[in-house]
Chain A
């Protein structure tokens, strides 16, 4: 192959190559910032940066004004302007197609746009969204011509690459966009292929059939020279249904937390570099309280707490079902089996049930089944966008779809923080994190790391973003 060509082996085939689905990580990796660009861009370690917008300001009242670049055109030759952005947003929120990005980031509020001139646009949200510029970093812009009620099959974007072809089951091909507004990338042609088996992906980089294999399993990351670990923004935790006895007792929940030897997982079942979590979002998130110490492994304390609770009439030996999702992350089964035995060690009566995702969903999202008794659901949460607002609401708000918590106090804290911005917001989130941690609302476990195998001829270091996007323009050859 040509030395400027690159092959990426992905773990999953793309269902569609639709920019509005780019919030789904496998699609995002191909589309985001390669084919389609976003309005703003979250750069790890640096914060929110301009991309298609040059600057933005809060007009108050829930309105944000965005100034767009005026030197950008789509790969089909049409110019990019405010109309395209307005159309992109309508597409996301109209409901004529249901998009991942829309459903994930643009639910729960009203959004209207007003075009001031070709390169200036006002976006108003009710209720106000202080983090709208951040949300705009998830919006992959499509041209005005993109159908509103149908998915795109041949995406057209402003990005450094042009979509060439998708041979189903075989590959996707991109090539450098000669008319790109920014710098020309080093990689001229990119091919994406799909292999579900991690060992095969790793082998492909080894044999030179591929250059990058994001997302290989811990077991396969055996070569220090080529295999990079990076925090992948996923946090593993056990969601506790706080409503059912004995899990409605704080002491019992704390005992669960104390029962776990979290350290023991790291470097064994889970990769070195995995962090122990004290919050549901990665430490880089706004308001994450870095001073919180993880619950130490203290089986005696756990037993003591249980004893106390028992003395108060809490039925601590009720059977608790731990529900796991098969294949959720590498070694999920081992992790849960280990947890189970740790719980049992301190006197809990925990049974483990693994379900495939379709069924697991029934336990994870409301309405929760009522006939199952006390439950803990293992889940993995991904929030790479730097603000905990959605995580907080969905995972801990009383109305949150996956929340096992009904706590008026916490609801208030979340509402307050959501409406604020800047440092106040940060402080308020910090409080919420701490409150959740101290009341042991759930069993927070780990911030995970992912592994990417990168061919030795490449100059590329994966980051936390690599989970959701893989900017080809950042890759160069040695």
Chain B
């Protein structure tokens, strides 16, 4: 019998000025109906590229499918005509893209973009509209009948990701390729989405190809696992087996790097001076209050994490602090100066001190600048950081620190994987040697081993240079390991804040407790157990 989807010996190259990149090499795996296959792997190991190959989305040239077959129900899609493949796309095989912001068309309403898939296949406008509303509701978009007419830029990162998911589910496809579908989602929403996928899978028997680095997600939903490294499949097996008995060194490294088990950080002494004091910060878009009376402080050398529901105003808060959005009310004192009312000139002077890693890394990198230009721009803007002769070596060093290599310097952003771009963004922020870094889901697209590397780097820098972090994340184990203090947000408000210990060990608010409870454990067996408990509860 044929598998639902199978790749045989798939190899993909990219021809670039700097040489040929072998992004995917001889990859074999298969997916059956009703099954969830997780592709785990290092960031940049070819996961997204192989998915793109299935969807006929690789630009050839510069890309080239050097060898292999991709069999859908036994038929090699690579041999099909473009028209035949178009018929499959969206209908039989659907894909959720890794980077929702750039993959949504900025000038059309999300409603249109979701219903379009259906309308393109003859579903009537009204029906498509109806189904779009349902889908939006199912992926947890509140007030879908209003949001249906909003544009992508009016959504939060997590919301956009859910819209992507809704779009992919428009047709109950046979195969769903989900490329990091939950990176921007907080655990409660993540749970909801995973449940949605599971339910659909049960209803329709679709096969899910889940690309993720989140071992918790793997533990929750995956039946089998494929582990990729450097473009190759290094290990395959049942999810539990791979977790318990990883055979390949990379897999072993991965599993040992799982966060959430380390020491809790001790709160900083009370005497630490505050680097930032935020007071009653408010922000509204029209009538919608995205941020209401947010007040908190960050000490020198402190890491403050913000967790909370998707769409709760975390990114908005970050953008307000950096003056990328006008605030409605409130103050934010940076070392005594109110960031929000500073004149442009003075603002420019402290810009360097406060840096941000954006939630959507692709969009935050100028597509016309090489990686070297992007990172060294810091030195151009602030010539006192480094003499020109050392830029090259410093950029190389930064790239190494975030797990990339000096070779990447001459490449351009579009030639990287999602996680690689995120790391470039981090390197760029670090290049400025700021005092405070706002990380908006800065490590969400990284596999745990690289994640660990980056987190270690951040901690090191904090210890050496006294950098403070405002760390927006939904990955609770990571927050637990990294943060001194935690702020919990919901619906534009700060609902709870305290030290890691207070929040993780003694959460006060029920929302926080739910959040912690929804957190996934990387061990498939543990998750299995929890699932059963949940079932019992509902029964």
A and B touch in the complex (CB under 8 A): no
Residue ranges of B at the interface with A (Cβ–Cβ < 8 Å): none
